[in-house]
Amino acid sequence: MKKYVDFDGVIKDTYMPLFEDYFAKQKNGEYIDDTEHVIKKDWIYVLEKSPIINNAIKILNELDDTSILTRIHSLENEGVAKIKDLRNLGVKCNIILVPYTVKKTDVVSANGSVLVDDAVFNLDEWLEAGGIPIFFDNYGTNIDGWGVENKKYVRTRSLDILKKY
């Protein structure tokens, strides 16, 4: 059985380092396109400032047949930074980059495979494609980063759950 783990919000908490200046500019009345912001953001800075969530790196290195499946907005900026960051942290598993406009289920086969993700819409697509979805709930709220409540998926706050699969 293959196991996949999302990056942002599951391995590292990138939310505040990514959007802190975005929110400050919005508060000052500036219009900022959120997609452009993510594309142009200094991802080396974001990842340096992003804490590892609940021993995720240590656990990833203990798991077999597990890959990181992360959506990216840019290959040369975000994608390269994530790969280098993970390798510098000693992560040896496969890293699969998913273009922002493509579903994770279009890049890998979900059928019979597990996905741990903090976005309900990703889990909905995973389930529809025959996969086993697990909701990662870093903050213990049962609500994803887009404000959607998880109403149907097993939830976890640790990647240790993958040791059962």
pLDDT digits (tens, 9 = 90+) for 68-96: 999 999 999 999 999 999 999 999 999 99
- Closest to 18 (Cα-Cα) out of 72, 95, 58: 72
Q: Which pLDDT score, from 0 to 100, does residue 111 have? A: 98
pLDDT tens string 121-146: 999 999 999 999 999 999 999 999 88
Q: Report whether pLDDT(118) > 80.
A: yes
| 27 phi and psi angles, rounded to 5 deg | -60, -30
pTM of this prediction? 0.93
Distances in whole angstroms, Cα of residue 115 to Cα of each of 25, 62, 87, 109, 161: 34, 17, 21, 11, 11
Q: Which pLDDT score, from 0 to 100, does residue 120 have? A: 98
Q: Where do the domains of the chain lie, and which CATH numbers do they carry?
A: 3-13+50-164 (3.40.50.1000)
